[in-house]
Amino acid sequence: MKQSRLLIISLCFLFSHPVFALRCGQALVDIGSYKEVVIDKCGEPESIETHIEIRGVTDRFGARIRPSPGTSINFGQQHYTEIEVVVDEWIYDFGPRRFQKSLRFENGRLTEINDLGYGHYH
């Protein structure tokens, strides 16, 4: 009995849609989609907020020496750079029977989908 339940649950996960996706009618929008694709599938959002975030990125330059198996020593220096990331936050309101969705885009690509409260009547 327990094995059959485990098999059924496993099959449900196997054939279910991605966890990080948004359904707009018959279309499905996944993490990594471009803004234009989301607008084509879901239409214009209820609201859009845009801002720029400054992020630090560290790269390691130099040679790597392995004196013995399982160890390594880095010679060189780290290079720190600040980059600008354009962040767009969109809200979709699908009505009172569905949750509103908050979508976060970074440099034009979808990075997060979050549930908000139930939507409103239009």
Give the pLDDT score at 87: 98
Give the pLDDT score at 57: 82
Give the three-state DSSP class for 26. Answer: coil
57-99 residue pLDDT tens: 887 665 555 555 665 555 556 778 889 999 999 999 988 988 9
Domain boundaries, the chain: 17-118
Q: Please, which pLDDT band fits residue 17 given cuts at 50, 70 and 90?
A: very low
- Residue with the bigger pLDDT between 50 and 73: it is 50
Contact of 105 with 87, CB cutoff 8 Å: yes
DSSP code string of 63-109: EEE-SSTT--EEEEEEEEEEEEEEEEEEEE---TTSEEEEEEEETTE
